[in-house]
Amino acid sequence: MSIFRYPHPPASEITPRSLWLSRRDLLATGLAGAIVPPGLLRPAPARAAPLTARSGGQSTEGLTPTPFQDVTHYNNFYEFGLEKTDPAERSGGFHPRPWTVRVDGLVAHPRTYDIDALLARPLQERLYRMRCVEAWSMVIPWIGFPLAELLKEVEPLGSAKYVAFESVVRPSEMPGQSGVLPVLDWPYVEGLRLDEALHPLTILAVGLYGQTLPNQNGAPIRLVVPWKYGFKGAKSVVRIRLTDSRPPTSWNLRAPDEYGFYANVNPEVDHPRWSQATERPIGVRGGFFGAARKPTLPFNGYGEQVAALYAGMNLRRDF
Ligand SMILES: Nc1nc2c(c(=O)[nH]1)N[C@H]1C(S)=C(S)[C@@H](COP(=O)(O)O)O[C@H]1N2
Ligand SMILES: [Mo]
C-alpha cells in the first residue's frame, strides 16, 4: 500500500508503525522536499488576543470541551505538514495580518472584508462537536458569526447555487506548501451548496476558547460546518465565491472514491479503508481502543437541524 496514494489520514493513524517511521525518515532527510527554514520550526508565540462573545444559543447539553492543549496541538493543516504536531510546531512564522477576505462571484455587491472589521462584529460562542473523517473527534468552543451574515450582505444572485472557499497560498510561511509531496494541490479549496452555507449552524470562526484563532487552527478566519467531516472546514480563508456549478474540493479531487463533496458525518457509510461507526474522542483517556470510543451520530448529532437539507437524496451515493 502506498502512503502517497492514501494520504488521509496520515500514516500514523492507521498504517503499521514501520511504514509510518519510514515516511518520517523521508521527511526528516528533506527527500520529500519538506525543508523548513529554521525560523519556522519554532512554536507559535502566544499572540492570541481575548475576544468577547455572547452565547450562540445552541444546545450544548452533555458536551464537554476538549482540552485547549489538544485542540491546539492535534491538528490537520497540511499547509504546515502532515503530522498532527506539525501545525503547532511549524506555524510560528505565519502572519495572519494584514488579511482580507474577498466575497465575490454571483453576487450583487462583491466586497472585500478586512479581518479587523470582521472581528469587530458581534461574535457568538458555539460549542460544536468536530468529527474528522479519520474517526477521531473533539468538542470545540468556537467564536465566530454565521456565514449567512456575510452572504446576505453581498446579496447572492438567483443564479448562485454553491459557495466556494479558498485557503491562503503562502509557501514562504507555510512549509507544507513548498514540499513536493504529492498530497494536495494548493490552494486548499472547499465548497458547500448555497442552502448549506446559509444554514444557521454554519459559521466563520475567528477564535476559540475565548481568544483569537491560533495559527494552527486556521488563523485568522476559517469555516466550521459541524455536521460535516472536519475537512470541509477550510482554514485561513481568503476568498469566498458564489458559483452556479459545484466547485472542486481538495480531498474530493485527491481521492473521489474516498471523500465526497457532501461529506456529511454518517456512521452508516464507511470510508473504503475504515469504519465510520465509532470515533475516538481526543483528550479522553482510553479513547483509541478503550471504553471511551463512542458511537458516531448521523450528521454528527445535528440531524434535527440539518437532515431536511437532504430530503429525497441518496446519502450513500451522495456521500
Ligand atoms: N486549508 C486547510 N484547511 C483544513 C485542513 C487543511 O489541511 N488545510 N484540514 C482539514 C481537516 S482534515 C480537519 S479535521 C480540520 C481540523 O481542524 P482543527 O485542526 O482546527 O481541529 O481542518 C480542516 N481544514
Ligand atoms: Mo479531517
Domain presence at residue 107: yes
Q: Which CATH number does the domain housing residue 64 bear?
A: 3.90.420.10
Q: Is 80 in the pocket of ligand 1 (CB under 6 A)?
A: no
**100 exposed, middle or buried (CB, 10 Å; 0-12, 13-18, 19+)?**
middle
Strand partners of residue 28: none
Q: Which three cell numbers stand for residue 14?
A: 492507521
Ligand 1 atom having least distance to the Cα of 184: 7
Domain membership of residue 116 as a residue range: 11-310
Q: Which protein residue's CA is at the shortest distance from atom 16 of ligand 1?
A: 76
Domain presence at residue 228: yes
CA distance 168 to 177: 10
Domain presence at residue 160: yes
Which residue from 245, 142, 233, 243 is spatially nearest to 188, judged by alpha carbons?
A: 233
Q: Which protein residue's CA is at the shortest distance from atom 15 of ligand 1?
A: 230
Mean of all residue pLDDT scores within the chain: 87
Q: Is 129 in the pocket of ligand 1 (CB under 6 A)?
A: no
Distance 75 CA to ligand 1 centre (A): 7
Domain presence at residue 300: yes
User: 231 with 237: CB under 8 angstroms?
Assistant: no
Q: Which of 134-138, 176-180, 287-291 has the highest mean pLDDT?
A: 134-138
Contacts of 23 (CB under 8 A, 6+ apart): 3, 11, 82
Which residue from 260, 147, 239 is spatially nearest to 189, judged by alpha carbons?
A: 239
Distance 233 CA to ligand 1 centre (A): 6
Domain presence at residue 4: no
188-221 pLDDT, tens digit per residue, is: 999 999 999 999 999 999 999 999 999 999 999 9
Residue 249 confidence (pLDDT) above 70: yes
Strand partners of residue 274: 271
Q: Is 91 in the pocket of ligand 1 (CB under 6 A)?
A: no
Domain presence at residue 188: yes
CA distance 110 to 117: 16
CA 151 to chain centre: 20
Ligand 1 atom having least distance to the Cα of 77: 7
When divided into structural domains, the chain yields a total of 1
User: 144 with 211: CB under 8 angstroms?
Assistant: no
Q: Please tell me whether 79 is known to bind a ligand.
A: yes
102-131 pLDDT, tens digit per residue, is: 999 999 999 999 999 999 999 999 999 999
User: 221 with 99: CB under 8 angstroms?
Assistant: yes
CA 248 to chain centre: 16
Distance 272 CA to ligand 1 centre (A): 21
Domain presence at residue 315: no
* Alpha-helical runs (H) found in 166-211: 194-198
Domain presence at residue 5: no
Whole-prediction pTM = 0.87
Contacts of 297 (CB under 8 A, 6+ apart): 265, 267, 303
Tell which wins on pLDDT, 30 or 154.
154
Which residue from 92, 207, 190 is spatially nearest to 145, judged by alpha carbons?
A: 207
